[in-house]
Chain A
C-alpha cells in the first residue's frame, strides 16, 4: 500500500492509491459545506431536539461548541462554533520582532508545538536565505518526529478515553512523559520548547540526550504494540470506530483535509515525501495509507505513523552530523555569550539583535510542514523591517473541523464524539 520515498525518486509519481468508493458521489452538505442542515420535510415530520454540546464538555477536545439537532439518537443537523480560544496570535506577532515572534508559534497547537515553531522559523529563513547547519537540520527532524509521537499519544489516550477505554490513557501518558523528558533534557522545558531558532537551534544538544533517545526508540515500538493489543480486539472499540465517520478521498481533498485524516481516506499524500524539507529525502520511511475513510482507519494510520516516526528518529540518531548547531551569521544569530566580555563588536551585535531585532528582506513566502495533524502552513510577509508585516498560519485543525458535517452522515449522537475525536483537532490551533 505504501512506498518509501526512495522507491519513488527517479520514477514516475504514481498519484493516489486508487481507493474503493467509500460512498457514491459527495456528502459535503450544500450550499454551506460546514453545516449539516435539517431537511424541511424532516423538520415538519419529526420531533427535532436541538442540543448544545460545549463549549465546555468533557468529551470534546478543548472549548469547541457543537450545536446538534437530533431526531431520536440520530444527528440530523450540526454546526460548529469556534473562536473561544481566539487570542490574536497573528496580530500580536505583527507587533513583535521576528525573534520575539518565535515563542508565539508553538503556543497555538500546544500538542504538536514543534511543527508550528518549525514552519515559522523555516519561513523566516526562506526570506533571509540563511543556510542552516546540517546538525540543526537533523536535530529539527528528530525532534519533529518525537513531537509527532507525542501528539499521536495524546490523541490516542484522550480519544480512547472519550469512547470509554480508560486503560490506554495511562499507557500512552507513560510514553508521553518519556518524550517530554527528552524535550526537557534537550530544550529545558517540556512543552512550547522554543528550541528552533532562526538559523538553527537555540543551544547545542546536551550530553546524554542521544543515549536516552536511543533507549526511547527501543521502548516505543513495543509500547505501540501494547496499545494495539488493548484496542484492536476490543469489541466496543471496534463497534464504535469501524464504518463510523466516513469521508471519501474526493470529499477529503475538496474539504482541504490533510495528514492522517486524508491518508485514512485513501489518499497517498505526505508533505514529508511529496515536497521533502529538512532531511526527509535522506531517510527511509513508509507513509501509511488506509482506504476506508472511517474512524478506525484514522486510528490505524496514526498507530503506523508512530512506528514510522521511531524509524526516522533511529536513522537521525545514526546520521546525526557533528559541528555547529546554528549558522554563524552575526546579523541574525545571537553571538556566543563568552565573547560579550571581550569583544565590542560582539556586544554591539548582541545589543542590536535584542533591542531592535534583525531585519528580513521584503517579500512573501508560504512554508508548509507536515505536522501531526497535517499541513501546517505559515505565510509570512515582510516589508524589509524588523517585524513581520503579516503572519498567517494555515491550521490543519481548523480545516479538519470543517469536515465534521460531512463525516456525520447517518451518525448517532454517540458517534459524534468518535468522529470529532478522530479528526484530532486542537482548539488552540483552530482559534489561534
Chain B
C-alpha cells in the first residue's frame, strides 16, 4: 500500500518498521479522512504531542546539573554520541492510526504534523470521536489548541492551573508554595 496519495503529504519515512506520514497541518482533516475512508485506518490508537524545545542544545529550565558544575545534559557529556538531527518546528503532534475492522492486513501508520508555538491544528474529533479526550490532554499538557474542538478544556490538571506541564520549559518541582499569610 502506498501512502503517498495522502492529501497534503510532506514526507513519508520508514524507521524501525513504522511508517510516518508527515502532513501539512492545514490539510490534516483532509488527510485523516482520506486515511480513514480510502485506506481503512478506522481506529485512532493514540494522539500525543512532543515538545522539541532545546532538542540537541544546551539544557533549558527544569533540567538538572550536578553540584560540580559538570553539565550532564550537554551533548557529549552524558553519553550523547552525537547531536541529534534538527527538527523543523517546536512541536510535533503524532496520530497513531490502526486498521481494525477492515478485511485488510492489520497495519499502523503515524501521521505527524509540525507546529510552532501558537499554531493550532484542526481538531480530528469529527473524524474519530475518540480524539476528544486525547486532544484535551494535548491542550492541557502541551498547550496545543485544536481548532474546532467542541470542548477544549483541561482534563488532567485542575481548571485554574497555570502552564502546560509537559512542555520542556515547564520547571520540575516548580509548584509555588502557598503560605497562609500570603495573598
Contacts and interface: CB of A to CB of B under 8 A. Distances in A.
Interface residues on A, range: 35 or more
B15 interface: yes
Contacts of A35: 151
A431 B43 contact: no
A82 B156 contact: yes
Interface stretch (B3-11, B24-32, B127-135): B127-135
Given A275-B106, A399-B130, 15 more contacts: A32-B132, A32-B151, A82-B155, A95-B172, A262-B100, A267-B101, A357-B79, A358-B79, A363-B15, A366-B96, A366-B108, A368-B108, A375-B98, A383-B56, A390-B166
A20 interface: no
Contacts of B98: 375
A317 B11 CA distance: 46
Nearest to A276: B106
A401 B63 CA distance: 34
Interface residues of B, number: 56
7 contacts: A13-B104, A32-B150, A83-B154, A90-B141, A366-B96, A379-B94, A381-B50
A256 B165 CA distance: 25
10 nearest A-B pairs in the assembled complex, by CB-CB distance = A256-B130, A15-B103, A33-B129, A394-B46, A83-B156, A31-B150, A392-B48, A274-B106, A86-B156, A359-B79
Contact of B129 (A254, A359, A362, A386): A254
Contact of B133 (A15, A31, A398): A398
Contacts of A149: none
A273 to B, nearest CB: 9
Interface string B101-112: 111111010100
B172 A91 contact: yes
Which of B16, B125, B141, B154 gathers most chain A CB within 10 Å? B16
A308 interface: no
Nearest to A361: B81
A86 B157 contact: yes
A132 to B, nearest CB: 15
Contacts of B155: 82-83
Contact of A365 (B16, B81, B165): B16
A72 interface: no
B96 A255 contact: no
A91 B100 CA distance: 31
Contact of A402 (B55, B56, B133, B141): B133
Nearest to A79: B151
B46 A383 contact: no
Nearest to B83: A384
Interface string B20-54: 10000000000000000000001111101011100
A57 to B, nearest CB: 19
Contacts, number: 143
A32 B51 CA distance: 27
A28 B127 CA distance: 13
A126 to B, nearest CB: 6
Contacts of A184: none
Contact of A385 (B50, B80, B141, B156): B80
A269 interface: yes
B46 A392 contact: yes
A7 interface: no
Interface string A266-296: 0101000011000000000000000000000
B84 interface: yes
Contacts of A401: 133
A313 B153 CA distance: 44
Nearest to B64: A95
B147 interface: no
B92 to A, nearest CB: 9
Nearest to A357: B79
A54 to B, nearest CB: 15
B51 A28 contact: no
Interface in B77-128: 78-82, 84-85, 94, 96, 98, 100-106, 108, 110, 125, 128
Given A34-B133, A365-B16, A383-B56, A256 B44 contact: yes
With most chain B CB atoms within 10 A of its CB, the pick from A366, A377, A389 is A366
A73 interface: no
Contacts of B16: 126-127, 363, 365
